Amino acid sequence: MRMVVLGLGYLGATHAACMAELGHEVLGIEVVPEKRAQLAAGEVPFYEPGLPDLLKRHIDAGSLKVSGSYADAADFADVFFIAVGTPQKKGEYSADLSYVDSALEELVPLLTRDALILGKSTVPVGTALRLSERADELAKDVQVEIAWNPEFLREGFAVQDTLRPDRIVLGAFAGGTAEGTCREIYKSMIDAETPFIVTDPPTAELVKTAANAFLATKISFINAIAEVCDAAGADVAAIADAIGHDARIGRKFLNAGLGFGGGCLPKDIRAFMARAGELGAAEALSFLREVDNVNMRRRTRMVEVTREVCGGSLLGKRIAVLGAAFKPESDDVRDSPALNVAGQIQLQGASVSVYDPKAMDNSRKLFPTLDYATSAADACAAADAVLVLTEWQEFQILDPEALGQLVRQRNVIDGRMCLPSEAWIDAGWTYRV
Ligand code: UDX
């Protein structure tokens, strides 16, 4: 089937390449010229394992094309995916829908045949209905159907999550073509017994927000338990393992530490609270404010522990920060807990040297005043404390004895509880979590 993907960021580029992999003919629309040029040359402008090979193969084969023109998009196909960003509005909790709105405003007046627009971006409940009404106003003698088909991919596993999703969710208005078209688009997955859940649009929009709110709550739950463990001298990782054996609870997303960041969970729970408020249901989600608070406290606590191991003041200290991406196998630094902590420590008078295997360029753009090292060892030179803030494999296998030779003080803070603590303690390090 021919289809268009509007927006080629983390979500759109992955979706476009994966749709080509499923055998479809895909045109991706990207309005930022530099990104477009890179993608058209078969290069991925961000780090996502497995995506460069897939994208290059389909660009070379011609099954995936890239353009900046909405006129090309309107010509190319009758099925369109909206995959543009929905960031948090500046100074507000709600989502900024201006990219979604402008995709619709630009595309619909150009349509000369009936079309189906499938939203993939995470949006506040009610968006599909609003867009559907707006599309009716904008359409010139054609029928434009809007439906929502939320995406659940994780960065770092984006290709496998798109090609082998846990479930496909579609929110469609009654009497439309969306279900039939999606059954065709995702035929191989549905044939392979991937659950295909068809609902109305508000339900599908809420499936996505509810899933992210649940994941954020699970992480903050274990981090709240970690606070009690700190006070009681108990081991939160052992508790996570023990409660995780209960199949009703499950061990996944119970890793305590520096908490969640990234371009999704933090802004999605805030947008969810804002939308619930607009709907008069603010009270129902008041616990999410506490989920957000617990999460943000992890960052402040990390700064406090660092100050403590440095003898009560960070002034003039040298701190090595290993990890800048919001999680491993990603170069994404949007709302990265690691960079947030690095910034706070620098503001308290320490010099901070940051190293990340993939996120150096993005970190420099966001926090140009931090020092950036060329390797983990380089970052640790003469450090008074080493902070591991993203659990890259490369940091988990560091040799504590060799690293100990480079630092000024053998203090390590394992912000992701990912190091073999005994090996570090045996090598004479003060190990903190
Ligand atoms: C998330 C959702 O998982 C995905 O389904 C949705 O589509 C987009 O948002 P992503 O942001 O890529 O995906 O990352 P995820 O793996 O969910 O991790 C989010 C954050 O939580 C990271 O900062 C990670 O370090 C943190 N995390 C995760 C924990 O602190 N503890 C855990 O146990 C798991």
- Same structural domain, 188 and 245: no
E strands, 182-276, are 196-199
Q: How far is the CA of 85 from the centre of ligand 1 (A)?
A: 17
- Same structural domain, 183 and 282: no
- Same structural domain, 406 and 305: yes
Catalytic residue annotation: 264
- Same structural domain, 50 and 8: yes
Residue from 253, 258, 327 to probe ligand 1 pocket by mutation (most atoms less than 8 Å from CB): 327
Residues across the chain:
433
| Residue 204 within any structural domain of the chain | no
List, edge to edge, every strand of the sheet that includes 196-199.
Answer: 64-67, 25-29, 2-6, 79-82, 115-119, 144-148, 168-172, 196-199
Which of 175, 199, 223 marks a domain boundary?
199
Q: What domain count does the chain have?
A: 2
> For 390-425, what is each residue's pLDDT tens digit?
999 999 999 999 999 999 999 999 999 999 999 999
How many other CB atoms sit within 10 Å of the CB of residue 372?
A: 19
Q: What is the pTM of this model?
A: 0.97
Task: Please identify, by atom number, the ligand 1 atom nearest to the C-alpha of residue 157.
Answer: 12
- Same structural domain, 9 and 133: yes
- Strand (E) or helix (H) holding 82: strand 79-82
Residue from 86, 122, 154 to probe ligand 1 pocket by mutation (most atoms less than 8 Å from CB): 154
Q: Which residues of 274-313 are buried (b: 16+ CB within 10 A; e: fewer)?
A: bbbeeeeeeeebeebeebbebbebbbebbbebbbebbeee
| Residue 322 within any structural domain of the chain | yes
- Same structural domain, 395 and 262: yes
Q: How far is the CA of 231 from the centre of ligand 1 (A)?
A: 27
> For 345-368, what is each residue's pLDDT tens digit?
999 999 999 999 999 999 999 999
Supply the residue whose CA is at minimum distance from atom 22 of ligand 1: 260
Residues paired with residue 184 on neighbouring β-strands, in sequence order? none
Which of 172, 199, 226 marks a domain boundary?
199
How many other CB atoms sit within 10 Å of the CB of residue 72?
A: 15
- Same structural domain, 188 and 235: no
- pLDDT tens sequence for the chain (433 residues): 999 999 999 999 999 999 999 999 999 999 999 999 999 999 999 999 999 999 999 999 999 999 999 999 999 999 999 999 999 999 999 999 999 999 999 999 999 999 999 999 999 999 999 999 999 999 999 999 999 999 999 999 999 999 999 999 999 999 999 999 999 999 999 999 999 999 999 999 999 999 999 999 999 999 999 999 999 999 999 999 999 999 999 999 999 999 999 999 999 999 999 999 999 999 999 999 999 999 999 999 999 999 999 999 999 999 999 999 999 999 999 999 999 999 999 999 999 999 999 999 999 999 999 999 999 999 999 999 999 999 999 999 999 999 999 999 999 999 999 999 999 999 999 999 9
Task: Please identify, by atom number, the ligand 1 atom nearest to the C-alpha of residue 264.
Answer: 9
Q: How far is the CA of 279 from the centre of ligand 1 (A)?
A: 27
Which alpha helices (DSSP H) does 233-327 contain, by range? 236-244, 265-278, 286-309
191 φ/ψ angles, rounded to the nearest 5 degrees: -60, -30
- Same structural domain, 359 and 420: yes
Task: Please identify, by atom number, the ligand 1 atom nearest to the C-alpha of residue 158.
Answer: 12
- Same structural domain, 258 and 337: yes
| Residue 235 within any structural domain of the chain | yes
State which residues form the domain around 352. Answer: 210-433
| Residue 260 within any structural domain of the chain | yes
- Same structural domain, 26 and 117: yes
| Residue 205 within any structural domain of the chain | no
Supply the residue whose CA is at minimum distance from atom 21 of ligand 1: 260
- Same structural domain, 121 and 249: no
Residues 6+ apart with CB under 8 A from 241: 251
> For 191-234, what is each residue's pLDDT tens digit?
999 999 999 999 999 999 999 999 999 999 999 999 999 999 99
- Same structural domain, 152 and 226: no
List the CATH number of the domain containing 40: 3.40.50.720
Pairing assessment for the beta strands 168-172 and 144-148 based on DSSP bridges: antiparallel
How many other CB atoms sit within 10 Å of the CB of residue 165?
A: 18
Placement of tokens 């919001």 in the chain: 326
